Amino acid sequence: MKTSNLSQFIVRACVQISVVVCVVGAVTMAPAHAKTPKNIIILFADGAAATQMEFGRYSSELLRSQPFAVTSEVMRHGTLGLMSTLSNNAYVTDSAAAASAMSTGHKANNGAISTTPQGASPATLMQDARSRGKKIGLVTTSMLYDASPAAFSVNAKSRRDYEFIVNQYLALAPEVLLGGGADYFKLDGIDGGKRKDERDMVEAFRKKGYAVATQTADLAAPLPPRKTKLLGLFADEAMDFAIDRDAVKQPSLAEMTTSALKVLSAASNKGFVLFVENENTDTAGHENDVGALMHELWAFDDAVKVALAYRKKHPDTLVIVTGDHETGGFTPTSAQRPKGSTGPGSSLVVNADMLRVIGGFKMSFQAISDRLDEKAKAGADKEAVMAYLAELVQKNLPGMQMDDEVRALILNKQAPSLNIRHHQLPPTPAPALGLMVARQTGFYWGTTGHSSEPATVSAIGPGAALFKGYQDNTDFARNLRRLLGAKPKSTTTR
Ligand SMILES: [Zn+2]
């Protein structure tokens, strides 16, 4: 039955039976009648699907004695759905195609930024929000011009059109832009800048009324007089993993979310749409780094808690928690220890003891790789670098032993298998370290790429019912359009 026919049926039935019964029936049967929210906050854990969220819950409750708001609040008390994630040209999507579908409602090829395979540029979520008079904001731990925030906002043929993407941000002028990626805002060769077109975009944003933040303390201060917008650039490329983060230099995702909400909620009659992404949940998956992933899930959940606190004060706010796809084929499991490895017994199963080992980790694999690079650049030979690696593992991944196979893989810069390969070039020890940790804790990975696991979407607030059940990722965009309401008549349609 179509929605319109269903409504007519309900109206007709109302004449015949009790009005009270019908009101209840209409509310539960027709999500199309859902109230339109004034504000929409999308919290986006890149590369995190149900397995990661469940790991966030298990580890947060056990190791930091905190409920995981994603599961305990949004999924439990809001609505929960699954989204298929395939792109136009692949069963396993990349972040660009997934975010394009979720933003525009059109499937894109992997690598495209809200551009269809035919070359069309359908309106993005942020463009449509803007055309309805809403304030808009982008927050990410990645480069601001990276695939997900870009596809939710602008159009580009390739996710690598960095300068073009930043230029379009200037034209769209979101009230809030917070994240990394200062390199493509600054001139080539100056202070880490990489722009070849001789446009100083930091200066261009300043001229357009933006206050510019470069460290955590800048976010605490109110916007200066005559400034109504905020650009925060806290790293030249992606921001650091939460497990490695220098809290003075780089704000947490929760701190950025708090700051974004402050700017967006100031004098906003028509409300706002805010996109908050943790990209590091994806990067940790690519690195097969369970310790880094755990801290990223907690950092993400802290941002979700900020959004839920805002919603408590402003109930006309819809909070959506979602992601684009799964990364790493993350598989906590039972396993057999390899012959000759250390540790008690030959079989293992993931349990609280194993989790506590992960809880003792103090550094990401990426940071360990960076330290080794520095050592090699300072002139250390292969053996000295390997000795330093053993020292770093002992200090920062306590309890872990490097077996001979893992040591040989790292020494020869080899990947453990064809699908557990080097995510970064030149090769880093990350995939071998991932295998080392898996063999001793049971936190295994199936790939260093993405997988086809459906993404979860959970929502709480007005309009949440639209996201219930099993949908395609293009439905996410269509649902949001219904909640944004009709365009004002004066606006030209694209
Ligand atoms: Zn990825």
pLDDT tens digits, 365-397 = 999 999 999 999 999 999 999 999 999 999 999
- Mean pLDDT throughout 11-27? 38
Q: Is 488 domain-assigned?
A: no
User: What domain range includes position 72?
Assistant: 36-329+451-483
Tell me, yes or no, whether 394 and 305 share the same domain. Answer: no
Tell me, yes or no, whether 442 and 456 share the same domain. Answer: no
Q: Is 457 domain-assigned?
A: yes
Tell me, yes or no, whether 421 and 459 share the same domain. Answer: no
Between the CA of 380 and the centroid of ligand 1 the distance, in Å, is 33
Tell me, yes or no, whether 307 and 188 share the same domain. Answer: yes
Tell me, yes or no, whether 26 and 88 share the same domain. Answer: no
Residue 312, strand partner residues: none
Between the CA of 199 and the centroid of ligand 1 the distance, in Å, is 29
Three-state secondary structure call for residue 212: strand
Q: Is 492 domain-assigned?
A: no
Q: Is 494 domain-assigned?
A: no
Tell me, yes or no, whether 284 and 183 share the same domain. Answer: yes
Q: Is 334 domain-assigned?
A: no
Tell me, yes or no, whether 105 and 224 share the same domain. Answer: yes
Between the CA of 48 and the centroid of ligand 1 the distance, in Å, is 10
Between the CA of 21 and the centroid of ligand 1 the distance, in Å, is 48
Between the CA of 284 and the centroid of ligand 1 the distance, in Å, is 9
Between the CA of 314 and the centroid of ligand 1 the distance, in Å, is 34
With CA atoms as reference, report the closest residue to 90 among 112, 105, 121. Answer: 112
- Mean pLDDT throughout 68-94? 98
pLDDT-derived band at 400, boundaries 50, 70, 90: very high
Residues lying with their CB under 5 A of ligand 1, a single-atom ion: 282
What is the sign of the dihedral through the CA atoms of 442, 446, 451 and 452? negative
Quote the number of domains for the chain: 3
Q: Is residue 373 within 8 Å of residue 385, measured between CB atoms?
A: no
Q: Is 136 domain-assigned?
A: yes
CATH of the domain at 152: 3.40.720.10
Q: Is residue 321 within 8 Å of residue 304, measured between CB atoms?
A: yes
Between the CA of 280 and the centroid of ligand 1 the distance, in Å, is 9
pLDDT-derived band at 244, boundaries 50, 70, 90: very high
Tell me, yes or no, whether 312 and 166 share the same domain. Answer: yes
Tell me, yes or no, whether 434 and 410 share the same domain. Answer: yes
pLDDT-derived band at 478, boundaries 50, 70, 90: very high
Per-residue pLDDT, 26:
35
Tell me, yes or no, whether 26 and 83 share the same domain. Answer: no
Q: Is pLDDT of 7 > 70?
A: no
Tell me, yes or no, whether 114 and 172 share the same domain. Answer: yes
pLDDT-derived band at 305, boundaries 50, 70, 90: very high
pLDDT-derived band at 344, boundaries 50, 70, 90: low
Q: How far apart are CA 492 and CA 482, in angstroms?
A: 18
In sequence order, which residues have a C-beta less than 8 Å from that of residue 439 and are 6 or more positions away? 335, 337, 338, 341, 403
Q: Is residue 476 within 8 Å of residue 457, measured between CB atoms?
A: yes
Tell me, yes or no, whether 379 and 248 share the same domain. Answer: no
Between the CA of 152 and the centroid of ligand 1 the distance, in Å, is 16
Q: Is 213 domain-assigned?
A: yes
pLDDT-derived band at 247, boundaries 50, 70, 90: very high
Q: Is 217 domain-assigned?
A: yes
**What letter represents residue 476's amino acid?**
F
pTM above 0.85, yes or no: yes
